[in-house]
Amino acid sequence: MSGILITGGSGQLGNALQALAAMRGLPFSVVSRPDFDFEKPQTVAACFVGALPSLVINAAAYTAVDAAESNPAAAKAGNHTGPLQLAELCAAVDIPFIHVSTDYVFDGSKGQPYTEDDATAPSGVYGRTKRDGEEAILATAAKAIILRTAWVYAAYGRNFARTMLNAARKTNVLRVVADQRGTPTAAPDLAAAILDIVKILQAGGWKPAYRGIYHATGSGETSWYGFAKAIFAAAPPEFPHPSITPITTADWPTPARRPADSRLDCCKIAKIFGVRLPDWRSSLPPIVAALIEMDAPRP
């Protein structure tokens, strides 16, 4: 097998996938907007034909959770109809399609980590379009693997860790939601999990048992408040350390409702592929260091 096509190359996961694929010496090509745009189906088809891939990893998505509430058409194209088109292209030439979805397909009311067998119940447009994308892909592509992840951050792009660190440069008091539980996932850890699965497919070929949905987040759990505390604990002493006040979801109204507890049970990916993402805390320090360096004020 050769020639992985990575979509969404300008995003957090797309970036991490490229870096790791290069490090592992894997043949790959990367596409991003404007050349590859789910809102322009002809660009998707042209990129696919141009790459002639033997496997596709879709890291492209409409990820603006709040903006999705007022842009349902763009969210649908980015998370449902666009990925479906990609799945159809993969199915037509019988190659594996690895797609990424979200914990926001759940409403967060279970009170325990969700398994892949739990019913979905998204509470917003983003989660609903991602769920519709999952269902459409599974109805289309025989060789589909869908990884649901959560709370993705990286030393790149837009994410909670970067927002916290940059806010601390401007203010010494931060208010952070403490009543939403989940698990931060470092983009490089998710990229490694995906490329480990690719390695298994390359070595042993596709097996029908692989098809389906898998949960893939960092290990452990926290709240956004706990995540913020850990971010500043990982920052060097000379970096501003704000006081962090825990608040409730009701104190911080947003256009989209978020699940109160979207922890994901990640046993299935460990059982089928032997893949386990590291504890979320262990991946945080190098990313915090890189973000601080990247956004440091330049003279």
Binding range to ligand NAP, per CB under 6 A, among 49-57, 96-104, 197-205, 243-251: 96-104
User: By CB under 6 A, is residue 77 in contact with ligand NAP?
Assistant: yes
- When binding is defined by CB under 6 A, the residue of 102, 140, 183, 262 that contacts ligand NAP is 102
Interface of this chain with ligand NAP, residues 140 to 159, rule: CB under 6 A:
149-152, 157
User: By CB under 6 A, is residue 231 in contact with ligand NAP?
Assistant: no
User: By CB under 6 A, is residue 13 in contact with ligand NAP?
Assistant: yes
Q: Which two tokens stand for residue 26?
A: 């894997």
DSSP output for 206-267:
--GGG-EEEE---BS-EEHHHHHHHHHHHS-TTS---EEEEE-GGGS--SS---SB--B--H
Instruction: Select from 140, 122, 128, 149 the least CA-distant residue to 216.
Output: 149
Shortest Cβ 119–ligand NAP spacing (Å): 19
Interface of this chain with ligand NAP, residues 29 to 68, rule: CB under 6 A:
32-33, 36-39, 59-63
User: By CB under 6 A, is residue 78 in contact with ligand NAP?
Assistant: yes
Q: Taking CA 288 as the corner, what is the angle to CA 286 and CA 291, rounded to the nearest 5 degrees?
A: 110
- When binding is defined by CB under 6 A, the residue of 4, 5, 12, 214 that contacts ligand NAP is 12
User: By CB under 6 A, is residue 127 in contact with ligand NAP?
Assistant: no
User: By CB under 6 A, is residue 164 in contact with ligand NAP?
Assistant: no
Q: Which two tokens stand for residue 38?
A: 């789910």
Shortest Cβ 130–ligand NAP spacing (Å): 6
Contacts of 235 (CB under 8 A, 6+ apart): 165, 241, 288, 292
CB closer to ligand NAP out of 157 and 285: 157
User: By CB under 6 A, is residue 14 in contact with ligand NAP?
Assistant: yes
**4-7: strand order across its sheet:** 28-31, 4-7, 55-58, 97-102, 144-149, 212-215
Shortest Cβ 106–ligand NAP spacing (Å): 11
Torsion angle, CA of 265/251/130/48, rounded to 10 degrees? -110
Residue written as tokens 């109204």?
253
In sequence order, the β-bridge partners of residue 244 are 174
**How do strand 144-149 and strand 212-215 relate by DSSP bridges?**
parallel
User: By CB under 6 A, is residue 188 in contact with ligand NAP?
Assistant: no
Q: Cα(16)–Cα(25) distance, rounded to whole angstroms?
A: 14
CB closer to ligand NAP out of 100 and 277: 100
CB closer to ligand NAP out of 79 and 140: 79
User: By CB under 6 A, is residue 163 in contact with ligand NAP?
Assistant: no
Catalytic residue IDs: 126
Binding range to ligand NAP, per CB under 6 A, among 22-30, 89-97, 98-106, 135-143: 98-106
Q: Cα(146)–Cα(139) distance, rounded to whole angstroms?
A: 12
Site residues (CB under 6 A) for ligand NAP?
8, 10-14, 32-33, 36-39, 59-63, 77-78, 82, 100, 102-103, 130, 149-152, 157
